[in-house]
Amino acid sequence: MTFFKSKVVLITGSGGGLGRYLAGAYLEAGAQVVLCDIHEEKLKAAEEGLSGKGPVFAQKVDVADEESVKGLFKATVNKFGRIDVVVNNAAIFDALAPVGKTDKVLWDRVISVNLTGNFVVSKEAVNQFLAQEPQGGNIVNIGSIAGTKGYFAGITYTASKHALRGMTMNIASYYGKKGIRCNLVQPGGMDTELYKELEGNMEAEGLILLGGNCPALKDGSIMVPLDKMSSLIMFLSSDSASSLNGQILNADNGMVSSA
């Protein structure tokens, strides 16, 4: 499969979890992949583990820091000449803290990564897409089923993921006619460190009881394998999905989004 032959794909938060798995899938599809993560050791391990699959470029970046992101894009263009796909995957969790237990330090940190980080990366991506020849590119934002309901996470994570819906549609509306597409995937549970952190805190905060409104929280039927999630993301960023722009796709086996 060479659907992405010679395409340059940048994936944030790709030191582990979905980001790292996705990087491997893009490489197998012929892409040149840019790995970036704030965790240097994880980033190095990912680069070493994936380098045998194809062209990989790794750089430490803090998506909440605009200068750090600008440096990432400059280095990527210097390395590969252009960028075709950006996957906004980097995110942190909020330990399921409800509004009454959330201090502003936690709020600011989660919003800075999950929302402001997404904005900063998208801004640089759009400007690069407009500047390069041929013009255009794809952004795939990774949201969460927490962006569809109010009971699946804490106040900060929930707010950040709901906000991604509006950001996605706004980018699509403004830049669709210029060859730039932006879509949002809202995954259910995945076998990643972030989801394990969620699982470990659910019962303590009473969300198992709230799950009475959604049995999928209890029986694990919201879980989606990483290979299926990667296939969906790659499809959205491929030429086969050229008619899809500003779309919100729930990927939870229909267990939460339809409840």
Residue range 75-82: average pLDDT?
A: 98
Comparing 257 with 82, the larger pLDDT belongs to 82
Residue range 93-102: average pLDDT?
A: 87
Q: What is the pLDDT of residues 186-241, one digit of tens each?
A: 988 766 555 555 555 545 444 443 444 444 455 556 677 888 989 999 999 999 99
What is the predicted pLDDT for the residue at 219?
54
If DSSP codes are grouped into helix, strand and coil, which group holds residue 9? Answer: strand
What is the predicted pLDDT for the residue at 63?
97
C-alpha 178/C-alpha 173 separation (Å) is: 10
DSSP label at residue 14: T
Residue range 168-191: average pLDDT?
A: 92
Exactly one of 7, 70, 161, 218 is catalytic; name it. Answer: 161
pLDDT above 50: residue 21: yes
Question: Among 219, 215, 202, 221, which Cα is nearest to 259's?
Answer: 215
Q: What is the pLDDT of residues 25-39, one digit of tens each?
A: 999 999 999 999 999
Question: Among 190, 159, 3, 11, which Cα is nearest to 85's?
Answer: 11
What is the predicted pLDDT for the residue at 252?
81
Q: What are phi and psi of 185, to 5 degrees?
A: -105, 130
What global pTM score does this model have? 0.90
Range scoring the smallest mean pLDDT among 61-65, 175-179, 207-211: 207-211
CATH of 8-251, one of 3.40.50.720, 3.40.640.10, 3.40.718.10, 3.30.360.10: 3.40.50.720
Q: What is the pLDDT of residues 40-57, one digit of tens each?
A: 999 999 999 999 999 999
Residue 178 annotated among the catalytic residues of the structure: no
Range scoring the smallest mean pLDDT among 5-14, 112-121, 146-155, 185-194: 185-194
Question: Among 96, 78, 147, 95, which Cα is nearest to 118's?
Answer: 147
